């Protein structure tokens, strides 16, 4: 019987305390990976879900609010801007594409976003990828009463091509605020993993002229999504100067993805709190291994003495104890990966449902190496004290 | 050549006052291969200490203990462990089986640190001690007598040259004690192993080729000392 088999037996013999230790290590390992890997993935995914736009022009207000509203379809618009503003910036030489959007209505909680058909027709939401419709679908035209549902919105609402619906006023669903217009779903978008999946797209004039909306604002829009021409690196600085520093009516959120990164930076205190909690769990996991093996060592002096009497070397009993610590840590790390996968998948689903941003927690990340290695290291260090105790066990005193 | 040769053996332990006291002083003792010796002595007389010295578990302060010509007192601790794993079998009064292990695994543990596990030989040994049908039983599922039989099988698992048995019948009823004793002796004979069996039972002399009184062997005057863990 080899040392690792004896160590495995030791773990199995104390199955309750071993299980608790394994769970503590698993919790610590999965938390380490979740706190670090998930944060990175969230930042990467949110920054990458900018829909292929470089900047957003909106009414005077917070850049973050403009980006959240314009690109992520979260939060409210800080106000309205004129159609002329859209036309003006669209003519700016460095602008490759400019798409106006208007918001203000919903269908059963799903936001309706008014835009021009060219947006869904010509724009690449990420490198070389245009929006695509599920088979049998069609885009709307400027004047039509047609709608294109994002994949998540269609799934959530249970709507498909040919279905009709009446929009509700406002961004929050209120069943008493129903509009009289009837829209027909003409298409459903293929999943894009961007916030475009969780909204319903209609012609911009539909939002602007919806019954009950202020006729005076019938040409107003909420924001303009901007894509710069390749190599037009200075465009952002020029427009920033023009709109943010010299002007006072509009705000240019540029670069769009940096705005969202800055948002993550602003809530970095949550990370710090989570990191502190994780550190505590790691300490508890390490302490748990130490306490369980140390106590077990007191109960197992006789067994160790018997093994020594049977010819086990001091280093053998030392190794057995250390292997027990490493074995529990290893099992904890494996369980930690499973917990991470499970929790990561669940969080990813929630995030995608709420924001449309597809997180992939299974993308390789440095924390997936250092967290398990770190936990094994802590298991090793925690196992040293009881292992030294096993090494020093006096055979003659503990043999009965 | 004698299997075991002890010359000028001295073992000291510190007294309560801190002074070193001789607990064993054995000028000479020879054990021949296959010989079976009964070592008698009262509690605290140093019987277990002598067995531990022969096993290399404790180290002599003076003298020489040679097993098959090799002085184990001169060996490093690691070498003494190897000597124990390969050349000695040990039977304890309290059996000292490991609780999480089956009978078969307990016997295999007796081989694990020496030449390696030979499962068929371990099964043969259990068959030989009458526990072939209890191989998968754990110690808590066995009677006292059965536990001792597993311990005997374990002691012989590494095909030792010498078996040390420390009061092996002390925790058994007379019937089981008798059976165990017969088993130890016959198995040692079958395997060609010498046996030193420690007991304070006065009725065992007739079973052994030679009986040694530790009180006569030990020249410290401590053989009748009270208590202690010696």
pLDDT in tens, B45-76: 788 889 999 999 999 999 999 998 899 999 99
User: Which residues does residue B26 pair with via DSSP β-bridges, in sequence order?
Assistant: B9
Tell me if chain B has a CB within 8 Å of the CB of A396.
Answer: yes
Predicted confidence (pLDDT) per residue in B125-144, tens digit: 999 888 889 999 999 999 98
* Tokens (6 digits) for A205: 């004039």
CA distance between the termini of chain A: 23
Q: Which of residues 7-66 of A touch B (CB under 8 A)?
A: 9-10, 12-13
Tell me what the mean pLDDT of segment B98-106 comes to. Answer: 91
Residues of B in contact with A15 (CB under 8 A): none
pTM across the whole model = 0.73
Name the β-bridge partners of A97. Answer: A227
The two tokens of residue B113 are 């640190």
DSSP H or E segment with residue A64: helix A63-70
Residue with tokens 């460095």: A94
* Percent helix, strand and coil across chain B, each to the nearest 5: 35, 25, 40
Q: Which residues have CB under 8 Å from B208's CB, separation 6+?
A: B36, B37, B38, B197
Q: Judge whether residue B176 has pLDDT over 70.
A: yes
Question: From the centroid of its chain, how far is CA A295?
Answer: 42
To the nearest whole angstrom, how far is the Cα of B33 from the nearest Cα of chain A?
21
Q: Which residues between 315 and 354 in chain A have a beta carbon less than 8 angstroms from any beta carbon of chain B?
A: 315-316
The minimal CB distance from A310 to the residues B94, B99, B109 is found for B109
CB contact under 8 A, B112 and A1: yes
A220 is written with which tokens? 């107003």
d(Cα B162, Cα A38) in Å, to the nearest integer? 63
Check whether B222 has a pLDDT greater than 60: no
Contact between A328 and A25 under an 8 Å Cβ cutoff? The reply is: yes
Round to whole Å and give the CA distance between A390 and A303.
10
A313 to chain B, closest Cα gap in Å: 6
Measured in whole angstroms, the distance separating CA A224 from the mean position of its chain's CA atoms is 26
The partner residues of A55 in beta bridges, in order of sequence, read: A226
pLDDT score for B224:
39
The predicted pLDDT at position B229 comes to: 35
| Total residue count of chain A as it appears in this document | 400
Q: A312: closest CA among B57, B58, B82, B166?
A: B82
Overall average pLDDT of the B194-216 stretch:
86
Q: Nearest CA to B58 among B107, B9, B18?
A: B9
Q: Does A249 touch chain B (CB under 8 A)?
A: no
Residue of B85, B94, B112 to mutate when probing chain A, most A C-beta within 10 A = B112
Vertex B18, ends B15 and B23: CA angle to 5°? 30
Smallest CA-to-CA distance from B37 within B4, B1, B9, B7 is with B4
pLDDT for res A308: 92
SS3 A383: helix
Residue-level length of chain B: 230
Q: Do A316 and B113 touch (CB under 8 A)?
A: yes
What pLDDT, on a 0 to 100 scale, did the predictor assign at position A118? 95
Q: Which residue of B has its CA nearest to A300?
A: B98
Stretches in chain A below the pLDDT threshold 50: none
B94 touches chain A (CB under 8 A): yes
């Amino acid at each position: 019987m080899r040392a690792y088999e004896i160590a495995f037996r030791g773990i199995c013999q104390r199955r309750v305390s071993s299980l608790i230790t394994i769970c503590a290590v698993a919790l610590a390992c999965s938390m380490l990976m979740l706190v670090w890997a998930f944060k990175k993935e969230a930042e990467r995914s949110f920054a990458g879900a900018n829909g292929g736009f470089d900047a957003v022009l909106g009414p005077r207000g917070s850049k973050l609010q403009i980006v959240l509203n314009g690109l992520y379809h979260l939060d409210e618009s800080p106000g309205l801007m004129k159609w002329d503003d859209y036309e003006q910036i669209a003519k700016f030489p460095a602008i490759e594409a400019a798409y106006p959007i208007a918001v203000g209505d919903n269908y059963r909680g799903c936001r309706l976003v008014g835009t021009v058909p060219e947006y869904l027709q010509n724009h690449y939401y990420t490198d070389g990828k245009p929006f695509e419709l599920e088979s049998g679908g069609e885009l709307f035209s400027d004047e039509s009463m047609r709608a294109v549902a994002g994949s998540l919105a269609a799934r959530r609402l249970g709507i498909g091509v040919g279905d009709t619906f009446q929009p509700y006023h406002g961004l929050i669903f209120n069943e008493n605020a129903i509009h009289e217009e009837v829209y027909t779903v003409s298409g459903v978008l293929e999943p894009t993993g961007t916030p475009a999946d969780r909204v319903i797209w209609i012609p911009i004039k539909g939002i602007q002229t919806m019954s009950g909306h202020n006729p005076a604002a019938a040409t107003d829009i909420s924001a303009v999504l901007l894509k710069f021409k390749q190599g037009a690196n200075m465009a952002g600085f020029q427009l920033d100067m023009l709109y943010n520093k010299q002007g006072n009516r509009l705000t240019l959120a540029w670069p769009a993805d940096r705005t969202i990164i800055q948002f993550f930076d602003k809530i970095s205190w949550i990370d710090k709190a989570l990191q502190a909690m994780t550190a505590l769990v790691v300490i508890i996991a390490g302490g748990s291994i130490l306490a369980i093996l140390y106590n077990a060592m007191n109960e197992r002096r006789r067994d160790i003495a018997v093994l020594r009497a049977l010819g086990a070397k001091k280093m053998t009993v030392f190794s057995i104890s250390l292997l027990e610590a490493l074995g529990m840590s290893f099992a904890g790390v494996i369980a930690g990966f499973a917990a991470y996968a499970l929790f990561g998948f669940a969080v990813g689903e929630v995030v995608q449902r709420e924001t449309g941003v597809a997180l992939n927690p299974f993308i390789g990340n440095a924390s997936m190496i250092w967290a398990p290695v770190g936990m094994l290291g802590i298991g090793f260090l925690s196992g040293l004290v009881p292992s030294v105790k096993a090494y020093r066990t006096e055979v003659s005193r503990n043999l009965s | 050549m004698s299997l075991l040769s002890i010359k000028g053996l001295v073992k000291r332990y510190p007294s309560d006052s801190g002074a070193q006291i001789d607990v064993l002083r054995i000028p000479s003792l020879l054990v021949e291969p296959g010989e079976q010796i009964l070592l008698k002595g009262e509690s605290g007389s140093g019987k277990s200490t002598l067995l531990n010295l022969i096993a290399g578990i404790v180290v002599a302060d003076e003298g020489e203990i040679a097993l098959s010509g090799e002085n184990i007192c001169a060996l490093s601790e690691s070498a003494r462990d190897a000597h124990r794993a390969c050349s000695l079998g040990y039977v304890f009064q309290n059996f000292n089986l490991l609780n999480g292990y089956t009978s078969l695994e307990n016997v295999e543990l007796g081989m694990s640190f020496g030449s390696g596990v030979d499962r068929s030989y371990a099964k043969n040994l259990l068959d030989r001690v009458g526990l072939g049908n209890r191989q998968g039983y754990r110690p808590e599922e066995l009677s006292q007598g059965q536990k001792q039989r597993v311990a005997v099988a374990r002691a012989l698992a590494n095909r030792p040259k010498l078996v040390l048995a420390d009061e092996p019948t002390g925790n058994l009823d007379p019937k089981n004690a008798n059976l165990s004793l017969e088993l130890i002796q016959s198995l040692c004979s079958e395997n060609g192993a010498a046996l030193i069996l420690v007991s304070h039972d006065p009725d065992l002399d007739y079973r052994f080729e030679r009986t040694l009184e530790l009180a006569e062997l030990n020249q410290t005057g401590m053989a009748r000392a009270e208590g202690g863990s010696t």
